[in-house]
Amino acid sequence: MIVNNSDYVIIMTEFEETINKLESEKILDKALKLGASYVDLRYQLYNNEEIRVENKSLEDYKSRNFGGLGIRVVINNAVGFASTSNLAKENIDKTLQNAIKLAKSFESVRGKFAEKEVVEKKEIVATKINPNDVSPEEKVKLLLETNKAAFINDEIKNVITVMGSGIDNRFFIASDGSQIRLQVPTVGLAQIVTAVSNGNMETVVNREGACAGYEKIQHDDWNHFSKDLSELAIRSAKASTPPAGTYPVIVDPRLVGILTHEAFGHAAEADLVFTGSSTLKDRLGEQLASNLVTIIDEGVVKGGYHLPFDDEGTPKGKTVILENGVLKGYIHDRNTADVLAVSPTGNSRAQDFENQPIVRMTNTYIEAGDHTFEELIEGIDHGVYIKNKGSGGGQVETGMGTFTFNGGESFMIEKGELAEPVRGVIISGAILDTLKTVDGVGKDKEIITGHFGACGKGNQAARVGFGGPHIRVREMTIGGR
């Protein structure tokens, strides 16, 4: 079923029909009669499509519908969980029995949950154009044109272009009375370009996406996106690497977001905190960063991934982790909130119905300040401006609080102005030491999400948003290849 609402299209289809057939209240009642003190059900239906073009040729076109039910019960504070993709009544009953057996098989306190608000709500990120209603021929044509546009000269040696879309439908119901239906669409396009110039080879990556329908794809200029990335690949291949050392650095909003997410956000996840795996353990109330730095985790924010509720039915609002440099709190599921005697923050998330929810970020960002980009750069006599576009990622150690990231497009800064481009920039350090030397925060906050890429933890992947403004760091260690 498709319901028209003004200019938007809301996709209901088999998701609503399956929920009605589940008779979920009967499953909850049966679990309680079998000895559970609490039970919740998570039904998910996810459809995904991905098209891949390489060097002007269609290489892959795949689509998948993925769905099923996860059942979690609590008996004597122990959690039992089981899942199934077979929604026949006898199979659902068997899945419930398996969850109960698991809960009875061991002792635990993972089933001690902090109190939360009971929520009954349906929320849909509506789309103007359902990606499933666009013909394969139209999508392939656009992708072939985008890929072809990248070959701006013979220095471009290889181009991979991928377009993806998905609609994630989730239904949550619990014995505490909560009942939530959530539908979130995502679309995106990613490109990898390899160029060879002056005997140097450089590979750069870029991606754009949103919680939206196919209108996002139709609206953007993908030929410009493609040519711009190829120009970056050629510039980078011709550029030199900067001398290794410690520099004042300006970091762009997207790399700020990745750095904040990876090097600080994970350390603020309460399950890592109370197990001693985080550098932030026992540091509440401490001044850990410059008073210019405020870090937020928020469920619904412009440009980010739409998550008004987590997978335990807890509303996800705005959680202040770091305020003016002072550690104010961690992000929690219901169990970690109980352990640390605080309220849950709506950060319990599961990759899908087959997995139990764990503590995860949503949209994590540094709050905007009051500097313009010109004001940030004019204070630097000799430094580096580092962007995320073209970057290949990095790695962190949450227990030590250290990070190493590959920068993307980068420029030297000389006497308050951008100078020559540089390649192969690698930044590293301890996140708290780095945040302490932030002496300028821009007013140009940007938060992004996308269809490609996800945050990994505990062998689960979850879509997130991240970002912030430009920031100026007084001291950051820079290395080259």
pTM of this structure: 0.94
Q: Helix (H, G, I), strand (E, B), or coil: what is residue 265?
A: helix
Tokens of 28: 């909850």
What token pair was written down for 60?
Answer: 């892959």
Question: Is 305:279 a contact under the CB 8 Å cutoff?
Answer: no
pLDDT in tens, 99-133: 999 999 988 888 999 999 999 999 999 889 999 99
Q: Are residues 368 and 315 in the same domain?
A: yes
List pLDDT tens digits, range 415-436.
999 999 999 899 988 999 999 9
Over residues 24-53, the mean pLDDT reads 97
Same domain? 216 vs 157: yes
Do 210 and 269 lie in one domain? The reply is no
The verdict on 234 and 357 lying in the same domain is no
Choose the final residue of a domain: 192, 208, 238: 238
pLDDT value of position 402: 86
Please give the share of the chain, as a percent, with pLDDT higher than 70: 97
Q: Answer with the one of 206, 238, 270 that is the final residue of a domain.
A: 238
Q: Which of 190, 68, 183, 53 is nearest to 130 (CA)?
A: 183
Query: Is the pLDDT at 38 greater than 90, yes or no?
Result: yes
Q: Which pLDDT belongs to residue 1?
A: 31
Residues 6 or more apart whose CB falls under 8 angstroms from that of 322 comprise 264, 288, 289, 293, 294, 295, 328
Q: Kindly state whether residues 216 and 313 are assigned to the same domain.
A: no
Same domain flag for 132 and 161 = yes
- Give which of 45, 166, 35, 60 is closest to 111, Cα–Cα: 35
Which pLDDT tens digit goes with each residue over 324-348?
A: 999 999 999 999 999 999 999 999 9
Residue after which a domain boundary falls, among 238, 254, 282 = 238
If asked whether residues 252 and 228 sit together in one domain, one would say no
Q: Calculate mean pLDDT across residues 234-252.
A: 93
DSSP 273-312: HHTT-STTTT-TT-B-S-TT--EEEESS-TTS---SB-TT
CA pseudo-torsion sign 234, 239, 245, 246: negative
Nearest to 156, CA basis, from 230, 98, 88, 90? 230
What SS3 state is found at 360?
coil
Range of the domain at 11: 2-238
How far apart, in whole angstroms, are the C-alpha atoms of residue 72 and residue 63? 29
Give the pLDDT confidence score for residue 360 in this predicted structure. Answer: 97
pLDDT band at 480 (very low <50, low <70, confident <90, very high): low
Give the separation between CA 297 and CA 306, rounded to whole angstroms: 12
**Percent with pLDDT over 90 in the chain:** 84
332/405 same-domain check: yes
What total number of domains does the chain contain?
Answer: 2
CATH number, residue 177:
3.30.2290.10
**pLDDT mean across residues, the chain:** 93
In 343-387, the DSSP E strands lie at 348-349, 358-359, 363-366, 382-386
Return the residue matching tokens 């985790």. 297
85-99, 153-167, 398-412: least confident range = 398-412
The answer on 282 and 220 residing in a single domain is no
215 and 269 assigned to the same domain: no
Same domain, yes or no: 330 and 449: yes
Same domain, 216 and 270: no
Tell me if 352 sits within 8 A of 42, measured CB to CB: no
Q: Are 171 and 19 in contact (CB under 8 A)?
A: yes
